[in-house]
DNA sequence: CCCGGAAGAG
DNA sequence: CTCTTCCGGG
């Protein structure tokens, strides 16, 4: 049953883990969807298909049933489930692929960047896969993305790396059902992180895991914690660069760059640079801006300059009432200390990272600050790259800045993962709202092959059959026409906006954008929400062909995925689904449009 | 089918 | 807050 190829499939680990739900740690729908998506048992019901991040619910009823089982809501049905999915639109976790029934698209960028800034969003151009990228850090060996230029540049047929698979496999152990909690998902990595935050992280509670600030180092330290992995400065550098480029290619928010002030964006042609010195990483020291982000594009140099055009996200239309309150309130009765692990034991997960230590063998060099436990409180270890540098603090600075922005923005518009609110700095105002945006549709594949690709395996179905459907009407939203418009209002927004509260500023910008968008291209949405004009920003870079990456039907590679599903949840609720995940209880209709 | 508002549960 | 339920409207 099932082709080997499809089984494996890599998925976004990051996606799975820390979803930390704010209020309740119940599993979240998107999370659940992701889970289903990664298991071949459910490929008959739901699977990646089409563009990056796109998936189709082949059997809505079944999915609903599963979801209902998971949530113990027997009354669940697709209608309701879809409503829930619709709520994700505003959060931008998900989008609807117009024109295709039961087809939605994940917005991983948001997740990724927020949670794991280091993840490469590699989507190789050639890979239409919908399967999302995976954090390289997750790999057992934590291998860096292809460092060779060639690799990087290559369009890549399929670059899945073994490592990746391993990672995927490792991650895969969670069961889909399990009423107890969705949290169970987090496991190894979290632990590392969790461990640290152990309690302090003011108020961090669960949420702490996601804290952006932490996230960086979390990623790094995690592997280290678990596996004693060490980094090699060079590798690190490469990795970072790759990531950066990746981000760049994707037009992700500069936010990402800011996180790594010392990184130089690799030139389009060759990222590599004299090994002798690490120009990029080495002298970090802060400086907030000085670091050169050489971008082919021109202005990327200084984030503040706003090389990117950012589009603001549309206001949350819906409702958002008070959101600020949470800042410190972390009531957590249990204070997080107790182990939330409910089903944790599920399977014996082998120690996640125990293996490879070899990789780092040499490197170490205090690259990463140790994850020592105590750092948590005020100082974060950050990634210290090389002794030489001293990124340490500066990062914070930068980050702080942006984060603040981000925070504001996010808060305002996006509730997602980053709830974290760091202490806000008084002077924050000066920051440009610039970043943020990346969300957008994000999914469009970058015109050029991104540098590093993590590898993702293709959608199962695709494997057997080429993604012909590509012809789809193409969402208008995705690839807007030229749209240079966005650039127009530079983020700077000079004129005295400074004093204006961020919110207002954003709003203003938003309106502007809207207007522009409208004029430029209005077809988009009937409603104002128009996909926030995402596309525009990109236009410049990728110009046209993004869609054309047609030829990409990579055969699904047969990764080792271990299919075991620990689905056993203790109880009954699960039984149902467990019974026949893939067993068709209903006739599969041909939903294909 | 898909979209969102409204109310409400946990 | 996230999601569940209902529901009127395209």
> What are the pLDDT digits (tens) for A183-221?
333 333 333 333 333 333 333 333 333 333 333 333 333
Q: CA A244, CA A119: separation in Å to the nearest integer?
A: 10
Q: What positions of strand C are covered by protein, i.e. any atom < 7 Å from a CB?
A: 1-7
Q: Which of A231, A223, A230 is nearest to A353 (CA)?
A: A223
> pLDDT exceeding 70 applies to what percent of chain A?
14
Contact partners, residue A63, CB within 8 Å, separation at least 6: A33, A36, A45, A46, A57, A78, A81
Return the closest nucleotide (C1') to the Cα of A96: B2
A331, burial (CB in 10 Å: exposed 0-12, middle 13-18, buried 19+): exposed
Q: CA A254, CA A435: separation in Å to the nearest integer?
A: 5
The DSSP bridge partners found for residue A57 are A46
From the CA of A100 to the C1' of B1: give the distance in Å. 10
Q: CA A131, CA A10: separation in Å to the nearest integer?
A: 7
Return the closest nucleotide (C1') to the Cα of A23: C1
DSSP 8-state assignment for residue A254: T
Q: What positions of strand B are covered by protein, i.e. any atom < 7 Å from a CB?
A: 1-6, 10
**pLDDT confidence tier of residue A26, bands split at 50, 70 and 90:** confident
Return the closest nucleotide (C1') to the Cα of A104: B2
From the CA of A301 to the C1' of B8: give the distance in Å. 50
CB A46 within 8 A of CB A557: no
Return the closest nucleotide (C1') to the Cα of A525: B3
> pLDDT of A357-404, one tens digit each?
222 233 333 323 333 333 333 333 333 323 323 222 222 222 233 333
Checking if the pLDDT of A32 tops 90, the result is yes
- Residue A112 confidence (pLDDT): 58
- Residue A63 confidence (pLDDT): 94
Helix (H) or strand (E) holding A520: helix A502-520
CB A484 within 8 A of CB A540: yes
Q: Which of A420, A537, A422 is nearest to A478 (CA)?
A: A537
> pLDDT of A532-545, one tens digit each?
333 333 333 333 33
CB atoms < 10 A from the CB of A502, how many? 19
Q: How many helices (H) and strands (E) does chain A have?
A: 18, 4
Return the closest nucleotide (C1') to the Cα of A322: C1
Decide: pTM greater than 0.85. no
Side-chain-side CA neighbours of A570 within 13 Å: the count stands at 7
Please indicate whether residue A444 or residue A147 has the higher confidence score (pLDDT).
A444
From the CA of A84 to the C1' of C3: give the distance in Å. 6
Return the closest nucleotide (C1') to the Cα of A74: C4
Q: CA A133, CA A121: separation in Å to the nearest integer?
A: 5
Contact partners, residue A245, CB within 8 Å, separation at least 6: A152, A265, A266, A271, A450, A451, A452
Contact partners, residue A259, CB within 8 Å, separation at least 6: A117, A216, A395, A398, A399, A402
CA A390-A391-A395 angle, 5° bins: 150
CA A131-A545-A256 angle, 5° bins: 55
Closest residue (Cα, C1') to C6: A80
- Asked whether residue A355, judged by its CB, lies under 7 Å from any atom of the DNA or RNA strand B, the reply is no
From the CA of A319 to the C1' of B9: give the distance in Å. 18
Return the closest nucleotide (C1') to the Cα of A60: B1
- Residue A266 confidence (pLDDT): 34
- Residue A52 confidence (pLDDT): 87
For residues A143-170, give the mean pLDDT: 29
Contact partners, residue A137, CB within 8 Å, separation at least 6: A116, A118, A119, A219, A220, A222, A223
Closest residue (Cα, C1') to B1: A101
CB A409 within 8 A of CB A502: yes
From the CA of A80 to the C1' of C3: give the distance in Å. 9
Q: CA A94, CA A81: separation in Å to the nearest integer?
A: 13
Return the closest nucleotide (C1') to the Cα of A78: B1
Range 508-537, chain A: CB under 7 Å to any strand B atom: 527, 529
DSSP 8-state assignment for residue A385: P
* b/e map A553-572, b = 16+ CB within 10 Å: bbebbbbebeeebbbebeee
> pLDDT of A449-483, one tens digit each?
222 323 333 333 333 333 333 333 333 333 333 33
> pLDDT of A413-429, one tens digit each?
333 333 333 333 333 33
Highest mean pLDDT (candidates A95-109, A235-249, A490-504): A95-109
Q: CA A369, CA A387: separation in Å to the nearest integer?
A: 10
Q: CA A383, CA A53: separation in Å to the nearest integer?
A: 30
CB A432 within 8 A of CB A405: yes
> pLDDT exceeding 90 applies to what percent of chain A?
10
Strands A46-48, A94-96: pairing is unpaired
Q: At what angle do helices A108-115 and A212-227 cross, to 10 degrees?
A: 70
- Listed by range, residues with Cβ under 7 angstroms from strand C are A 21-24, 26, 28-31, 67-68, 71, 73, 75-76, 79-81, 83-84, 87-88, 91, 319-323, 415-416
Q: CA A12, CA A171: separation in Å to the nearest integer?
A: 9
CA A93 from chain centre, in angstroms, equals: 10
- Residue A551 confidence (pLDDT): 27
Contact partners, residue A393, CB within 8 Å, separation at least 6: A286, A382
Place of tokens 């009407």: A473
From the CA of A71 to the C1' of B1: give the distance in Å. 24
Q: Which of A48, A266, A41, A19 is nearest to A146 (CA)?
A: A266
At A48, give phi and psi (nearest 5°): -70, 140
Return the closest nucleotide (C1') to the Cα of A29: C3
CB A375 within 8 A of CB A216: no
Closest residue (Cα, C1') to B10: A24
Q: CA A162, CA A148: separation in Å to the nearest integer?
A: 17
Question: Collapsing DSSP states into helix, strand and coil, what is residue A279?
Answer: helix
Q: CA A417, CA A126: separation in Å to the nearest integer?
A: 30
From the CA of A278 to the C1' of C1: give the distance in Å. 45
**pLDDT confidence tier of residue A12, bands split at 50, 70 and 90:** low
CB atoms < 10 A from the CB of A358, how many? 12
Highest mean pLDDT (candidates A94-98, A285-289, A434-438): A94-98
From the CA of A580 to the C1' of B1: give the distance in Å. 27
């Amino acid at each position: 049953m099932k082709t080997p190829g499809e089984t494996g499939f890599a998925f976004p680990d990051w996606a799975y883990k820390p979803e930390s739900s704010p209020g309740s740690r119940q599993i979240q729908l998107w999370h659940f969807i992701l889970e289903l998506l990664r298991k071949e048992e459910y490929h008959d019901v739901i699977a990646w298909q089409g563009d990056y991040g796109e998936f189709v619910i082949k059997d809505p009823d079944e999915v609903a049933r599963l979801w209902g089982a998971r949530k113990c809501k027997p009354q669940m049905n697709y209608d309701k489930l879809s409503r829930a999915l619709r709520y994700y639109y505003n959060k931008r976790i998900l989008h609807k692929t117009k024109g295709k029934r039961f087809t939605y698209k994940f917005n991983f960028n948001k997740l990724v960047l927020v949670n794991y800034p280091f993840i490469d969003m590699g989507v190789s151009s050639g890979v239409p896969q919908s399967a999302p990228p995976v954090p390289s850090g997750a790999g057992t060996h934590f291998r860096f993305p292809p460092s060779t230029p060639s690799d990087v540049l290559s369009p890549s047929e399929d670059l899945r790396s073994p490592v990746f698979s391993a990672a995927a496999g490792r991650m895969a152990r969670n069961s889909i059902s399990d009423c107890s909690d969705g949290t169970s998902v987090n496991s190894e990595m979290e632990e590392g992180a969790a461990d640290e935050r152990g309690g302090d992280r003011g108020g961090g509670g669960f949420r702490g895991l996601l804290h952006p600030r932490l996230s960086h180092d979390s990623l790094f330290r995690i592997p280290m914690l678990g596996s004693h992995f060490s980094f090699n400065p060079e590798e690190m550098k490469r990795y970072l660069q790759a990531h950066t480029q990746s981000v760049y290619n994707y037009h992700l928010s500069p936010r990402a760059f800011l996180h790594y002030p010392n990184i130089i964006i690799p030139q389009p042609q060759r990222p590599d640079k004299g090994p002798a010195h690490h120009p990029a990483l080495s002298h970090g020291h802060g400086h907030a801006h000085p670091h050169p982000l050489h971008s082919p594009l021109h202005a990327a140099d200084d984030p503040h300059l706003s090389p990117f055009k950012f589009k603001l996200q549309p206001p949350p239309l819906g409702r958002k009432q008070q959101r600020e309150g949470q800042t410190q309130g972390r009531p957590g009765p249990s204070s997080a200390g107790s182990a939330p692990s409910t089903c944790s034991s599920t399977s014996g997960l082998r120690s996640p990272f125990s293996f490879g230590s070899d990789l780092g063998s040499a490197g170490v060099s205090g690259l990463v600050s140790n994850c020592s436990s105590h750092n948590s409180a005020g100082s974060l270890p950050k990634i210290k790259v090389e002794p030489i540098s001293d990124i340490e603090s500066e990062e914070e600075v930068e980050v702080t800045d942006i984060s603040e922005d981000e925070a504001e923005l996010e808060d305002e518009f996006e509730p997602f993962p980053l709830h974290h609110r760091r202490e806000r700095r008084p002077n924050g105002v000066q920051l440009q709202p610039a970043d943020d945006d990346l969300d957008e549709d994000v999914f469009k594949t970058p015109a050029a092959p991104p540098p590093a690709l993590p590898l993702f395996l293709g959608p199962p179905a695709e494997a057997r059959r080429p993604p012909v459907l590509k012809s789809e009407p193409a969402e208008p939203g995705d690839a807007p026409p030229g749209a240079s418009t966005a650039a127009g209002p530079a983020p700077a927004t000079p004129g005295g906006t400074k004093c204006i509260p961020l919110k207002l500023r954003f709003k203003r910008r938003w309106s502007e954008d809207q207007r522009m968008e409208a004029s430029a291209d209005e077809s988009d949405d009937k409603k104002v929400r128009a996909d926030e004009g995402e596309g525009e920003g990109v236009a410049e870079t990728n110009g046209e062909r993004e869609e054309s990456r047609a030829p990409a039907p990579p055969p699904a590679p047969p990764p080792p995925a271990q299919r075991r599903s620990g689905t056993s949840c203790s109880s009954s609720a699960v039984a149902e689904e467990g019974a026949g995940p893939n067993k068709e209880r209903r006739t599969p209709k041909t939903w294909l449009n």
